[in-house]
Structure 1
Amino acid sequence: MNSELQLQVEHWLAQDPDPRTQAELRSLLEQQDEQALAARFAGRLEFGTAGLRGIVAAGPMGMNRLVIRQTSAGLGAYLLEHVSDATERGVIIGYDGRHDSRIFAHDTASVLTAMGIKVRLTAKVAPTPLVAFGVKHFNAAAGIVVTASHNPPQYNGYKVYWGNGAQIITPHDAGIAAKIELAASQSIPFLAHEAGINQGRLQWLEDEFYQRYRRAVMQAEVLQPHTAPQRVSIAYTAMHGVGADMAEAVLIDAGFTQVYSVAAQREPDGDFPTVNFPNPEEKGAMDLVIAEAKKHGAMLACANDPDADRFAVAVRQDDGEYQMLTGDQVGVLLGHYLLSHARSEQRLVGTTIVSSSLLAKIAKRFGGECYTTLTGFKWLMNVGMAKSQPQAQFLFAYEEALGYTVGNMVWDKDGLSALVAFAQFTAELVAKGQTIWDRLEQIYREHGFHLNTQVSIALTPGTPDIGAYLREFPPAAIGDQTIVSTEDFKTLERRFADGRREPIELSASDVLIYRLANGAQVIVRPSGTEPKIKCYYEVVEPMNAYDSLQSCQVRAMAAMARFIDAHQASLPK
């Protein structure tokens, strides 16, 4: 075996506090499995704006206790250097129901308290939104959630919030990553919990903290009920995650008495035994909650993902079957509902470049403002905070991947408050003798039927760099439709067909957006390393007086198929 690799492994073993991962590495050493060891020591699990996320495994490329301790030491050093009162403001830590989450969270607390930083640690599993709430509530210097959200069971993650309550963005991500590299070459401080408590550095967050979040939902201005909710029936699943207790509690507080949880998926289980993939977007993931809804004839079949920061819903149709709403449909429905009740000075809403353009049209209809960011709630929330003014206060933001923020109680996506808001919206419709489908049709009649879809296109191995090609040979049309503007997020410039140019005030990213004369658009995210692109398509089909929701949808789907075919045909082969 390579002697340098063997020294790396032995050095790691000398620091690894976990007998399980020690045994994993020793077994590979005994087997002389150089390939497996080289993979585990090929670098370091990258720390970025999403923190850490990876497969639980031994070595610096995996999620394990030593990586967590080194990461925590790096984060602690960065906080001490950049936040003058970090020791007193401290850090709040929570964790989900995955197998290693509790010990990772406890190790994080021991490292930070050893560095003199006050830590508030949840006494049990906690939905991610509660930690984001806690950062604001306690005015903490930072927040940490040990969670892999909706990833498969073998994954875990380490999500970091800055003191403003939103996920970290540049330059903090790079700064923390540099401190982690330094910490990995040094001994890691560690303080036992009992000592941390005795020294006043460790505080357990017991039930009272969970109740504070619950009361905040109940008292939130944008979540005050406008109609009686008793007639709305809801089937719910936590999808083997940590959302059930709080989801049921906030629904009860809001007056929803007909709530039926899927028993087989109610309790946290890191194996996620009843789903192939614990993501509400995946085929089959909603099967049990839809079956529960059918059993009770419920109007809604609702789900949170395992850490309860995302929300999904299927809605009963006239034939008794259930249809999933897309993330964009939920976003525009919630946006329309919230804007219709908002104060005139609280009508700032936001969405991302890959989400539907419909929210912006709805906001304009209500006299509001809609901002657009790059993908990710780290951008939606940081930009939302920056744009919020006394006469243009933040109200709502969403992205098509089932993430929603209702009001300013939490500066991150929150599947629990979104669940309450959607239930209240449904109750208002029921009181008017309307359905969710009626409201969708009303919105589409006013603004056009907006259909969105996402396609990954694998190209031949000989295809050149797609992004470079599209920039060198910019298309003037897609099919028979003229391109009226092109937005290049690499050069941060918007170019119009008439020759005008204007800057784009967002962070640089390898993204191209083409807007067509008929209102359609395509967002292209090319890969510079492989012949593959990810495309987000939108078509807008006007609804005439004779259209039903179904007939217009059929026409929009046909238009979408033509659009995708024309766009793919225009790409280099």
Structure 2
Amino acid sequence: MENGLSSTGDIKLDQAINQWLQFDKNPQTVALVHGLVKEGAVGELRRCFGSRMEFGTAGLRAAMGPGISCMNDLTIIQTTQGFCKYLEHCFGEGLKERGVVVGFDARAHPPSGGSSKHFASLAAAVFTSRGVPVHLFCDITPTPFVPFTVSHLGLCAGIMVTASHNPKQDNGYKVYWENGAQIVPPHDKGISVAIEANLEPWPESWDTTSHSPLLKDPYQDIHTEYYRTIQQHCHHREINKSSEVKIVHTSVHGVGHTFVQSAFKAFDLRPPYAVEEQKDPDPEFPTVQYPNPEEGEGVLTLSFALAEREGASVVLANDPDADRLAIAEKQKGGQWRVFSGNELGALLGWWVYQCWKQTNPDQSTVKAVYMLASTVSSKILRAIALKEGFHFEETLTGFKWMGNRARELLDQHKIVLFAFEEAIGYMCSSALLNKPPGEVIRAMFDRLRHYGNQDQEAVSYPRQCGGVPITAVRDLTTGYDSNQTDNKAVLPTSTSSQMITFTFSNGGVATMRTSGTEPKIKYYTELCAAPGNSDVKGLQKELDDLVDAIIEDFFQPMKNNLLPKPE
């Protein structure tokens, strides 16, 4: 490195590093980059500068650290400048009249000087430098507060700085549109283009110390209004007041403790016992390997211990940004049962509908009622809908799709009672709307599209698995659906993610997709029994055998051939 410039032998890499050193004003990330260049750590430099984080419908999510591949002060500024420019294009002067909201969780990364709170302050500085009012929360909030604020105050957009349940080194940048839902195409592409066109920091974008009159703190107002709003969904307050049920709650070192306590108070429930070791925010997440309650018992060990001491029979667990919920119940034999997302979706959906029926004796309005679920979630709400007469709809995976569809229905004067996805995410009120190598993922799914066929031009999906014939295939990556007369999928498709659903002759349904946030390929299976078949054990074995066959036939050969071998 001469005169502060990098020379790694890779022209494109050197250009990215040198531009970074010109733009970055964070002394910690600058020092980290200088150190890597001095050490000649080309591999690490490529990891940090090889490609810019891709802005998608879920916003951004990556490790904190230096470089265009990571979450840091400069990439936050660049992202927000692009987002601001895109909003100016969409709303014109309305952006300066209505403004945006910015919230954050408790994540931090001392080596790079990054934290969710600091990133939020930088994002706010970008907007105020363009004359845009910003409602910047003064303290940590759960993610649902941001979309609620967008809707409650009639804002143009919202930003939540959080990596949700990702590992401690990660952070993220979630974006909400004026309808209170996360963005969907084409906004993601428009924002991405605007980011690339606005990489050089504006002079005022670094200034988080100014006390701009455009900055407002919505914390107290939103805290009051949020709980006032959810109180409308408390249907049995007198029962709550006298309930003897003891409940344990863990926020898994995240933001949830204070807000869950307030929610219990709003519903006149006795406060839950808090898991002391996990009650307060801690960006190190010291008591869990992964701060994700979807992982089940491993995350709930301390909760079960507290429940045993206090005689509690129910455990609730939020993820670190408090927009997911896991529930466990102590069974008669003394064992704890952790409910799956599909089981909770069924229970909550049924409960919400029963409460609606009690308060709406005129059943003629049932045809205006809707419930939603993602394509990989259980279809049990469809069965309830067929019996009760309300509507059930599927959407693509992710609450961005359910939130946007819910808003469309509400604008049509429909009633959206409930939405859920199997990844322990639920919407009980319409008022509150590092990966595996890319080539490995593509190869695994391409094998399913050319099964038993070496000709990569000819599509040939599997015809059976484990001896069970496949009767239908839906591929929402390519847009293929054999159930349609023209073989074209009805649901929206996305070439940036992988998702294939197989329907089997025995009533089984299996969906395989890539995780949007974690190093996983996820699969979801369900078996619908024929009428009159009540052999639960036999059906469970049939489903288990099918799952084993899917793993063995569909994925195991490619996993063995493509994943790196341990040294």
Same fold? TM cut 0.5: yes
Structure 1 residues 495 and 28, CA gap change in structure 2 (3 angstroms):
closer
Among the aligned pairs, what percent are the same residue?
34
Aligned to 2:3: none
Determine if contact 2:264/2:271 at 8 Å carries over to the other structure: no
Query: What is the CA-CA distance between 1:385 and the residue it aligns to?
Result: 2.1
Matches within 5 A, 1:34-113: 34-84=42-92, 85-99=94-108, 100-113=115-128
Rounded Cα–Cα distance in structure 1 between residues aligned with 2:288 and 2:552 = 37
Q: In structure 1, what residue type is equivalent to 2:481?
A: R
Cα deviation digits, residues 64-90 of structure 1 (max 9, x gap): 001101111111111111113011111
Aligned partners of 1:113 and 1:191 also within 8 Å: no
Size of the alignment, in residue pairs?
A: 512
Secondary structure, counterpart of 1:384 in structure 2: helix
Counterpart of 1:381 in structure 2 is 403
CA distance in 2: counterparts of 1:534 and 1:119, whole angstroms: 38
Paired position in structure 2 for 1:468: 449
Q: How far has the Cα of 1:465 moved from its partner?
A: 2.7
Instruction: State the partner residue of 1:162.
Output: 177
**Runs of 4 or more above 6 Å deviation:** 458-464, 542-545
CA–CA distance in 1 between the matches of 2:37 and 2:441? 40
* Residue of structure 2 equivalent to 1:237: 250
Structure 2 equivalent of residue 397 of structure 1? 419
Q: TM-score, normalised by structure 1?
A: 0.83
Q: How does 1:163-562 map to 2 (within 5 A)?
A: 163-185=178-200, 187=202, 189-190=204-205, 192=207, 195-197=210-212, 200-219=213-232, 222-225=233-236, 228-229=239-240, 230-257=243-270, 259-282=272-295, 283-342=297-356, 343=360, 344-345=365-366, 347-388=369-410, 392-411=414-433, 465-470=446-451, 472-479=459-466, 481-490=468-477, 492-496=479-483, 500-501=485-486, 503-509=488-494, 510-525=498-513, 534-541=522-529, 552=536, 554-562=537-545
Q: Which moved more, 1:301-310 or 1:512-521?
A: 512-521
User: Normalising by the residue count of structure 2, what TM-score does the alignment of the two structures yield?
Assistant: 0.84
Specify the code of the residue in structure 2 equivalent to 1:211. T
**Aligned mates of 1:188, 1:467 — CA distance in 2:** 51
Please say if residues 508 and 543 of structure 2, whose CA atoms lie closer than 8 Å, have aligned partners that are also in contact: no
Report which stretch shifted further, 141-150 or 231-240: 231-240
Unaligned runs of 5+ in 1: 412-457
Query: 1:32 and 1:489, CA in 2 relative to 1: closer, same or farther beyond 3 A?
Result: closer
Q: Deviations over 1:10-58 (max 9, x none)?
A: 4322321222112211211222322222321112111111111111111
Q: Deviations over 1:112-145 (max 9, x none)?
A: 1001111000010111001111010111110001
- Greater mean deviation of Cα atoms: 223-232 or 123-132: 223-232
Aligned-partner SS, 1:131: helix
Deviation of the 1:494 alpha carbon? 3.4
> C-alpha distance in 1, partners of 2:228/2:371?
24
CA distance in 1 between counterparts of 2:58 and 2:512 reads: 22
For 2:347, give the aligned amino acid: L
Q: Which moved more, 1:400-409 or 1:205-214?
A: 205-214
Query: How far apart in 1 are the matches of 2:148 and 2:211?
Result: 24
Q: 1: CA distance between counterparts of 2:137 and 2:444?
A: 51
Question: CA RMSD of the aligned region, Å?
Answer: 2.8
Which stretch has the larger CA shift, 353-362 or 1-10? 1-10
Report how far residue 267 of structure 1 moved.
0.8
Residues 273 and 401 (structure 1), Cα distance of their counterparts in 2 relative to 1, 3 Å cut: same
Gaps of 5+ in 2: 1-6, 109-114, 434-438, 452-457, 558-567
Distance change in 2, residues 1:10/1:477 (3 Å): closer
- State the Cα deviation string for residues 334-358 of structure 1 (Å, max 9, x = none): 0111112224445211111111111
CA contact (8 A) 2:235 2:355 kept: no
Q: How far apart in 1 are the matches of 2:463 and 2:264?
A: 51
Query: Are the aligned partners of 2:77 and 2:201 in contact in 1 as well (CA < 8 Å)?
Result: no
**Does the CA-based 8 Å contact 1:397-1:406 persist in structure 2?**
yes
User: Displacement of 1:297 after TM fit?
Assistant: 1.9
Q: Any conservation in 1 of the 2:55–2:192 contact (CA below 8 Å)?
A: yes
